[in-house]
């Protein structure tokens, strides 16, 4: 994907909650509600990144930074736009934003069965730092979480 094919914006206020919930609900089952995003965005240090193609939002990432450490809280690309390099661009722009905000490392947790996300994170410089057994409860079973870290 070329730089001029897309635009990226960052929102630190709860005004972005309806947009975030609309995208998240099409990426995850179930997605987070608008009030979930209002609560999350109300916490200082939280920022929502939105990537748009031709002004239409297609992917989001939510970060939280405390001192020089940041965390990815959630990230998703709309199903119709996957495998097109969008999440890679989302991460690259997110890294730059966080660096400018004096973050030096970025953490995340990802399910061990989530192959697309694991490949995305590994190919974007994240390394595994640990595992949380049975971290996700899917109702029908449990899934471990891998903890990952990337220096910025």
Ligand X SMILES: CC(C)(COP(=O)(O)OP(=O)(O)OC[C@H]1O[C@@H](n2cnc3c(N)ncnc32)[C@H](O)[C@@H]1OP(=O)(O)O)[C@@H](O)C(=O)NCCC(=O)NCCS
Residue numbers at the binding site for ligand X (CB under 6 A): 27-28, 75-77, 82-88, 110, 114-117, 119-120, 123
Residue 41 or 110 having the CB closest to ligand X = 110
Shortest Å distance, C-beta 118 to ligand X: 8
- Degrees (nearest 5) of the Cα angle 147, 97, 58? 80
Shortest Å distance, C-beta 55 to ligand X: 18
Entry field: residues in the chain: 152
Reading phi first (left if > 0) and then psi (alpha if -120 to 50, else beta), residue 85 is in left
Q: How far apart are CA 145 and CA 36, in angstroms?
A: 22
Residue 101 or 114 having the CB closest to ligand X = 114
Shortest Å distance, C-beta 85 to ligand X: 5
């Amino acid at each position: 994907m070329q730089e001029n094919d897309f635009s990226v914006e960052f929102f630190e206020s709860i005004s972005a909650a309806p947009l975030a919930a609309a995208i998240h609900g099409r990426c995850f089952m179930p997605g987070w509600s608008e009030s979930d995003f209002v609560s999350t965005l109300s916490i200082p240090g939280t920022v929502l990144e939105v990537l748009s193609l031709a002004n239409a939002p297609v992917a989001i990432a939510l970060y939280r930074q405390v001192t020089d450490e940041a965390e990815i809280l959630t990230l998703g690309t709309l199903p119709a736009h996957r495998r097109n390099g969008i999440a890679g661009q989302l991460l690259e722009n997110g890294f730059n934003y966080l660096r400018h905000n004096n973050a030096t490392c970025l953490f995340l947790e990802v399910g061990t069965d989530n192959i697309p996300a694991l490949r995305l994170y590994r190919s974007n410089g994240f390394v595994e730092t640990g595992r949380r057994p049975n971290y996700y409860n899917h109702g029908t079973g449990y899934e471990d979480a891998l903890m990952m870290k990337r220096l910025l």
